[in-house]
């Protein structure tokens, strides 16, 4: 148990801040969460209407670590947890204006129409291609093209990156955006060898790779997780509380500056996106320069959830969803078959689809008028899934700054956070700009930073 009544200020009540506060309280510390809006959860929000359920942000939580299951149990949510339907294994990639199922086994890979014979045979060479020099930073596109070829880049990696990052593989750094992939090549000299040998190591650690991790939600969507965290830290929450500065005073305490004056704390965690962090002033004797963080790109993304009668759609919707390669020149980045994954997402005889538009590929699309966004999505669904008619339900959410892009050179931003924590004791950083962009990454980042804060407070 940590020292009693040490106080920590957390700025931002997104999932990282909430997870950090929950863990700090368990360790015996006093956390205060300052949130400028009147709600918690950041981009995670579930809307329920007319029998439909729409996730405004992430759709699923990946159980990549036993700690995620432990957190759900601590919050008393075990009986409300729901795993994705295990029968819905298909992941479709659009090719020639048709969704084609990604191969799930070596046998399917040999017969799939997604890749040509030369691409399939090229995989046999992959274990013998030399690794990239450790001092050279490649884009994901360079990495994949070098090891697997153009077709694999266009029809596997490009759509995958659009679906996960809303990103561009030509710009994302393999080292920073996909560190485990980078590490496989550096350690084993091959992705194929690394996948086989790396699986043994993950098993020893009790962790699971994201492509193998179980997908989780809750009976009433991911809002259940946020509400559970909110109840756990309820006495710590300060909603509608803007912070405009963080300053260290002479007695080594940090002050949080807001419209109601200042409050002192032993440690501070800004759990904010970097574009919001740069709006604050940070002082420790002199001003701390965070201006380089303005270089971090957050492209706009629109999430559009639509409900239809089942008989409006020709496609069987027998899987996770479909991703759209850039070379196919469609409007959307991809569509999740939401009601195929989890029960209770649509009324009886209806289905729910979640489509994404914008990102690095076409940022302007996310900022179009609502009716134009709807038209672009429906145009794709008509061609690709055989949709006929209009939706019975629509829920849109536009994020002007969606997902931080770990582009080539991103290491300098990670180095900055390492340096700031070293030079300014009691100041901590965690979130999707530093620890990975998935919901599971953000939850684990909150728990991890709480442990680091606890160690610091016990020494001070």
C-alpha dihedral (279, 280, 286, 291), degrees to nearest 10: -30
Amino acid 123: pLDDT: 87
Amino acid 184: pLDDT: 85
The domain containing residue 21 runs over which residues?
7-43+225-296+407-459
Which of 401, 308, 403, 309 shows the shortest CA–CA distance to 354? 308
Which of 3, 192, 44 shows the shortest CA–CA distance to 106? 192
- Total domain count for the chain? 1
The CA radius of gyration of the chain, in Å to the nearest whole number, is 23
Asked, for residue 447, whether it belongs to a domain, the answer is: yes
Asked, for residue 453, whether it belongs to a domain, the answer is: yes
Amino acid 259: pLDDT: 79
CATH number at residue 240: 3.50.50.60
Contact 296, 404 (CB under 8 A): yes
Amino acid 260: pLDDT: 77
Asked, for residue 414, whether it belongs to a domain, the answer is: yes
Average pLDDT for runs of 10 along the chain of length 460: 73 98 96 97 96 96 94 97 95 97 90 93 89 91 94 95 95 93 86 75 67 90 98 96 90 85 92 97 92 98 98 97 97 98 97 98 98 98 98 97 97 97 96 96 98 93
Asked, for residue 258, whether it belongs to a domain, the answer is: yes
Contact 376, 332 (CB under 8 A): yes
Asked, for residue 265, whether it belongs to a domain, the answer is: yes
Q: Which residue's entry shows tokens 């966004």?
A: 373
Asked, for residue 158, whether it belongs to a domain, the answer is: no
Tokens, residue 266: 């032993």
Amino acid 51: pLDDT: 96
Q: Which residue's entry shows tokens 């904010």?
A: 272
Question: Can you name the residues that pair with 359 across neighbouring β-strands?
Answer: none
Contact 193, 127 (CB under 8 A): yes
Contact 44, 57 (CB under 8 A): yes
Contact 22, 232 (CB under 8 A): yes
Which of 442, 435, 433 shows the shortest CA–CA distance to 13? 442
Tokens, residue 421: 């924590």
Q: What is the DSSP string of 133-144?
A: PTT-PPBHHHHH
Strands (E) in 118-202, as ranges, are none
User: pTM of the entire structure?
Assistant: 0.93
Please state at what angle helix 439-459 crosses helix 66-74, rounded to 10 degrees.
Answer: 80
Q: How many Cα neighbours within 13 Å face the side chain of 412?
A: 10
Question: Can you name the residues that pair with 303 across neighbouring β-strands?
Answer: 356, 397
Asked, for residue 358, whether it belongs to a domain, the answer is: no
Asked, for residue 249, whether it belongs to a domain, the answer is: yes
């Amino acid at each position: 148990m940590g020292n009693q009544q040490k106080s920590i200020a957390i700025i931002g009540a997104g999932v990282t801040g909430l997870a950090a506060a929950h863990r700090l309280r368990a360790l015996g510390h006093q956390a205060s969460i300052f949130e400028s809006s009147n709600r918690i959860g950041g981009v995670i929000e579930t809307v329920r209407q007319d029998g439909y359920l729409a996730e405004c942000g992430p759709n699923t939580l990946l159980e990549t670590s036993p700690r995620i299951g432990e957190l759900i149990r601590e919050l008393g949510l075990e009986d409300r947890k729901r795993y994705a339907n295990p029968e819905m294994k298909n992941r479709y990639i659009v090719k020639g204006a048709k969704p084609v199922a990604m191969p799930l086994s070596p046998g399917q890979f040999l017969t799939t129409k997604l890749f040509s014979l030369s691409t399939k045979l090229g995989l046999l060479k992959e274990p013998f291609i030399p690794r990239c020099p450790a001092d050279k930073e490649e884009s994901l596109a360079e990495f994949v093209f070098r090891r697997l070829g153009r077709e694999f880049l266009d029809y596997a990696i490009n759509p995958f990156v659009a679906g996960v990052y809303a990103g561009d593989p030509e710009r994302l750094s393999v080292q920073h955006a996909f560190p485990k992939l980078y590490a496989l090549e550096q350690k084993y000299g091959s992705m194929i060898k690394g996948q086989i040998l790396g699986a043994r190591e993950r098993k020893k650690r009790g962790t699971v790779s994201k492509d193998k991790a179980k997908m989780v939600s809750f009976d009433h969507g991911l809002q259940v997780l946020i509400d559970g965290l909110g109840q756990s830290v309820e006495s710590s929450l300060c909603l509608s509380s803007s912070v405009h500065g963080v300053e260290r005073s002479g007695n080594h305490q940090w002050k949080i500056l807001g419209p109601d004056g200042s409050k002192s704390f032993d440690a501070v965690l800004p759990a904010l996106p970097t574009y919001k962090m740069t709006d604050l002033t940070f002082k420790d004797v002199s001003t701390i320069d965070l201006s380089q963080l303005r270089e971090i790109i957050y492209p706009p993304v629109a999430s559009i959830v639509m409900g239809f009668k089942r008989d409006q759609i020709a496609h069987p919707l027998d899987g996770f969803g479909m991703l759209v390669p850039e070379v196919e020149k469609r409007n959307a980045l991809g569509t999740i078959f939401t009601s195929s994954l989890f029960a209770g997402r649509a009324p009886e005889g209806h289905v729910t689809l979640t489509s994404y538009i914008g990102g690095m590929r076409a940022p302007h699309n996310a900022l179009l008028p609502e009716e134009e966004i709807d038209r672009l999505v429906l145009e794709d669904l008509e061609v690709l899934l055989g949709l006929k008619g209009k939706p019975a339900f629509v829920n849109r959410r536009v994020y002007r700054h969606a997902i931080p892009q770990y582009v080539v050179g991103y290491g300098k931003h990670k180095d900055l956070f390492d340096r700031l924590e070293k030079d300014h004791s009691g100041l901590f950083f965690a979130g999707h700009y530093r620890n990975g962009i998935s919901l599971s990454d953000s939850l684990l980042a909150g728990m991890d930073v709480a442990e680091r804060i606890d160690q610091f407070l016990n020494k001070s």
